[in-house]
Amino acid sequence: MKEKAWFEENENRIPVGEVRTRFAPSPTGYMHVGNLRTALYTYLIARHDGGKFILRIEDTDRGRLIEGATDVIYRTMAECHLEHDEGPDVGGPVAPYIQSERMSMYKEYAELLVENGNAYRCFCEKAESEEDSGEFDRGDDPCRTLTKEESDVRAAAGEPYVIRQLIPHEGTTTFHDEIFGDITVENKTLDDQVLIKRDGMPTYNFANVVDDHLMGITHVVRGSEYLSSAPKYNLLYQGFGWDIPKYVHCSPVMRDAHNKMSKRHGDPSYEDLIAQGYLTNAVINYVALLGWSPGGEREIYSLDELKEIFDIKGISKSPAIFDIEKLRYFNAEYIRALSPEEFAKAAEPFIRQAVKNPAIDPAAIAVLLQQRTEVLTDIPEKLDFFDSLPEYSAELFVHQKSKSTPETAKSVLEQILPMFGELSEWNDERILDAMNRLTEAMGVKKSVVMWPIRIAAAGKAVTPGGAVEICRILGKEETMRRLEIGLEKLS
């Protein structure tokens, strides 16, 4: 075991006097909604109190690692504007911030617990699942009663062992959670969890405690599924003589009243939601309200506003149900709040899925869509008529509310074609002026003229934008070609 000075040096590096939170994901391929919420709450706690937000990569479970997954974490954090103050890519006073690069210290701290009587070496041959989970009857484990001297001799002889936490047989352990309050458990219900496996690798539970202490973490935010492990964490902190951080256990995000969200069951990750046409800021706003309430009726908050108002007391004990329709509502609100330039940029890739003609400006189409779009993936199906006129029936020209009949439609197209042909400029003003002149000449309502022109130009009853905008975007030549096709259908 290391000398006392080594442990003291580690202690001296720990930052003090500030709120310090950490997001500690495993690189397993994607950022699910629950993980994103944990990252967000962790970030908001730090920012609200002017503290530090730390990113730590927990990669000790080598069997679950997926190549490129760490890049997904960095990219998601950056897109969501959850900037970390310390982490693998930016460094910091308690580096390294990748668990696999800290491997040399965990065994030393486990041996320190053995030295002070809060852990023991277990030489029993147990199945790997038992070793990982601690599922065994400790009352029958002869290694609990080995003297330190006996244990040292067997270890020195090269006999393989795990290091287990020594949980007291009697009494209770009480821990405090910021959401659930004080929770007391009987020690006899706790197992002697494995801290260090036979191969020298730390278990998740042990590495977490050591890293959180050595990084000066003041608030530990995690899912409520870890409530059952919290008493053992407390006993570890007490065994080392360390201060216990504030626990913030968040109830799960559910697909419905009975089932947690799960990638295996097709529930969306953050990346899936973005691919499905949701805006990052809308996702962040909605996720913040999954199990937390600022109070009052207001729902739309920017990230900067969330930093100001976020309070742990607003986190609910009850599970939160992920409602995709509610997220859709949030997204529509965010889309409408974008500037025209911002929306055009966000919408362009989706516009180009349907409108491949380079002569058509996607920004011109975006103007028609912004107030009619809830998610960006709605866009392509609204625009298929721009590249090519779809097949349609002459029955579309008949519209009772617009007072459009086959006869009036035929008359409108016959008269508007030469008027369009005479236009030297092709813009909204000139196109509308031609339509208004025809309306006046025919002595009809404007809709009688507008309806058949839009139907002939688009071949669809429902379109983003009206006749004027569609004709302008299509251009004079293509508009007149389509109107002639419409006239043929009516002849």
Q: How far apart are CA 258 and CA 96, in angstroms?
A: 40
Tell me the DSSP string of 51-70.
-EEEE-B----GGG--TTHH
The Cα–Cα gap between 299 and 388 comes to 42
Q: Please classify residue 369 by burial: count the beta carbons closer than 10 Å to its beta carbon, then call 0-12 exposed, 13-18 middle and 19+ buried.
A: buried
* E strand or H helix that includes residue 194: strand 194-196
Would you give the distance in Å from CA 333 to the centre of its chain?
Answer: 18
Q: Judge contact between 72 and 31, C-beta under 8 A.
A: yes
The alpha-helical segments, DSSP class H, found in 219-302 are 230-240, 270-275, 280-288
Angle at 43 between CA 66 and CA 216, to 5 degrees: 90
**Best CA proximity match to 141, nearest among 124, 163, 120:** 124
Tokens of 197: 């496996």
**How far, CA to CA in Å, does 377 sit from each of 273, 347, 380?**
10, 9, 7
Q: Annotated catalytic sites, by residue?
A: 263
Sole residue written with tokens 């809830």: 374
